[in-house]
Amino acid sequence: MSLPENVGVYGGGRMGAGIAHAFLLAGTSVTVVEVSEPAAVAARERVETSLTRARERGKLPGPLPEVAARLSVSTDPGVLAGCGLVVEAVPEDMELKRRVLASVAAVAPDAYLATNTSSLPVHGLASDLPAPDRLVGLHFFNPVPASELVEIVVGPKTAPELVGEAQAWVEALGKTAITVTDSPGFASSRLGVALALEAMRMLQDGVASAEDIDTAMTLGYKHPMGPLKTTDVVGLDVRLAIAEHLAREVGERFAPPAVLLEKVRAGHLGRKTGQGFYSW
């Protein structure tokens, strides 16, 4: 098997739990690290709920107790010492991610490191690492169990052999990889956010309703989900953070529209809060 026998995931939120799910289904042992005991308990519940759903869909490669037994959850980063790969999956904050990656490198110096960032530069995240050549971007998509795509982001110091390993890992997970250079927003976030921001401006200008704008893309262009509903699923706060980053790096065409700023300020973050561009 091309996957490491033991994989760590630092961060057990929706994305981290989904990444853990994907590696468990591929046959590895997975250790999830969280910052507190309540967060660790919640992370385990997320992964086990996801595995139960996979069993109900006939997607689980073995009895649920056996698959779940390969999952461990801890608040101690030291448990990652035996991992061949550790995937960072904490919120999209540069300094937080850098601290997490540095702490992982300290306890697991022989592990390959991957960041699940959707827009932050890999070279910036690698700047404090003793071995920046051992870091690669593995941008999984939400929801991870159902998504077929992983974006491999190659930093300027990422070792070529690590890129090959990452491509093999994605294949072993049963997903498809695209490989991109380390640039603002990569390929997927840059294109996805550009479409979403224009859809928001159209809604703001009264061109059409959210439902009709989304239907234009699902029926007219065969997108599986419209850009506004996708924003609700991703999280309006996540989309805002990416848009602000792209505006700084690429230009004002990525400046977030007023409707997005207003909704985030109001706490309407999409599906996770029950209200965004849609009611959930």
Q: What is the pLDDT of residue 160?
A: 97
Query: What are 56's two structure tokens?
Result: 């109900």
| Residues 47-58: tens digit of each pLDDT | 999 999 999 999
- Helix, strand, or coil (residue 272): coil
Confidence label for 142 from pLDDT (cuts 50, 70 and 90): confident
* Phi/psi at 86 (5° precision): -125, 125
pLDDT, tens digit, for every residue of 64-95? Answer: 999 999 999 999 999 999 999 999 999 989 99
pLDDT in tens, 220-277: 999 999 999 999 999 999 999 999 999 999 999 999 999 999 999 999 999 999 999 9
The pLDDT score that the predictor gives to residue 40 is 98
Confidence label for 5 from pLDDT (cuts 50, 70 and 90): very high
How high is the pLDDT of residue 2?
A: 82
Cis amide prior to 143 (ω within 30 degrees): yes
CB 164 within 8 A of CB 157: no
Q: Above 60 in pLDDT, residue 1?
A: no
Q: Could you please state the CATH topology (level 3) that the domain comprising 185-271 is classified under.
A: N-(1-d-carboxylethyl)-l-norvaline Dehydrogenase; domain 2 (1.10.1040)
Pairing of strands 71-74, 29-33: parallel
In 3D, which of 93, 224, 90, 250 has the Cα closest to residue 149?
224
Residues 6 or more apart whose Cβ sits within 8 Å of residue 90: 10, 11, 13, 16, 96, 97, 100
Query: Topology of 4-179 in CATH?
Result: Rossmann fold (3.40.50)
Domain spans of the chain, in order of start: 4-179, 185-271
Q: Which residue has the higher pLDDT, 139 or 118?
A: 139
Which 3 state secondary structure label does DSSP give 150?
strand
Residue 247: what pLDDT?
95
Q: Is 101 helix (H, G, I), strand (E, B) or coil?
A: helix
In this prediction, residue 102 carries a pLDDT of 97
CA distance 176 to 279: 32
- Whole-angstrom distance, CA of residue 226 vs CA of residue 229: 5
Supply 259's token pair: 């409707």
pLDDT tens digit sequence for 161-216: 999 999 999 999 999 999 999 999 999 999 999 999 999 999 999 999 999 999 99
**pLDDT reported for residue 173:** 97
